[in-house]
Amino acid sequence: MSSGFKDIAYRILKEAGKPLHSKEITKIALEREWLITAGKTPEATMNSLLIVDINKKKEKSRFIKVGPSTFGLNKKVAVPEKEVYEEPERVYKISKGISPRQKGGIAEARIAELITLYGDTTLACYKPISDDEGIDLIVKEKGSQKTMYIQVKSRFGDKPDKVFTATTKTSSITDNYQMAIVFCFFDTEQGDLWDYLWFVPAPDFLKKANRLQNNTNLGFVAGRRRNEDNKWDEYLIDKRDLANKIIEQMGRY
């Protein structure tokens, strides 16, 4: 479900039939996967948005504040149920015959588009001429000799998993800040990449990745929600910030 915080809060409060604390509303939304956010304090966002809605709309708000960070529904405001949270039918599915290689190419193309669109014309992105294992995209900074090599690891699905997993060959990773790995999820129902992705510099990945199969492979396991115990959280970024991260890393060498 992709509704906003307030629509989700309305649905939860309507089902509960009683006022709830903003933390409880957020907890239910996350457990049901109605709310997907990379923010560290979604309950604070929920609380703030509901307060702003009440202060702005006053008696016309769908919500009322009944206590500290506790909210209920304004019974004086009638809201058509279908207007609030009607879910669209799932009718868009990608072709089942698409091969893993084709999926990889699609993800790489989307990553290249993001770099081009948000690189402020300072970055040039292209695929290597030869099939160089481990390098999917080459990014150059215009006006300088700086180059970055990107490996893209993607997963496809119509319902984003709570945990993103991927493996890559140890031999394909160079211990140099000129290389980075991008982990991304492609939502086949939405037909696009998830709003967030992981951008991990190669030296950091070599240091933190799980060693698999006698060290021949490296494993990546990350939660799609921020968690203090998740070692990959610091690398989770808005996909539109990818170009800025690349420029930032280029400044390290």
The domain tally of the chain equals 2
Query: What does each C-alpha distance from 122 to 83, 139, 171, 180 come to in angstroms?
Result: 44, 10, 31, 18
160 and 224 part of one domain: yes
Whole-number mean pLDDT of the chain? Answer: 86
Alpha helices by DSSP H, listed for 38-186, are: 42-57, 81-85, 100-118
State whether residue 238 is helix, strand or coil.
strand
Q: What is the average per-residue pLDDT within 182-193?
A: 88
Rounded Cα distance, 211 and 122, in Å: 36
Least confident of 37-51, 103-117, 186-200: 37-51
Residue 26 Cα to chain centre, angstroms: 18
Question: Quick check: is 93 in a domain?
Answer: no
Transcribe 140-164 into DSSP letters. EETTS--EEEEEEEEEEESS--SEE
State whether residue 38 is helix, strand or coil.
coil
80 and 128 part of one domain: no
Question: Quick check: is 95 in a domain?
Answer: no
Rounded Cα distance, 134 and 164, in Å: 20
130 and 240 part of one domain: yes
Question: Quick check: is 74 in a domain?
Answer: yes
Look up the domain containing 73 and give its range: 5-85
107 and 225 part of one domain: yes
pLDDT tens digits, one per residue of 81-132: 555 555 544 456 677 788 999 999 999 999 999 999 998 788 999 999 876 7
210 and 109 part of one domain: yes
**What is the domain-level CATH number for residue 142?**
3.40.1350.10
pLDDT at 207 over 60: yes
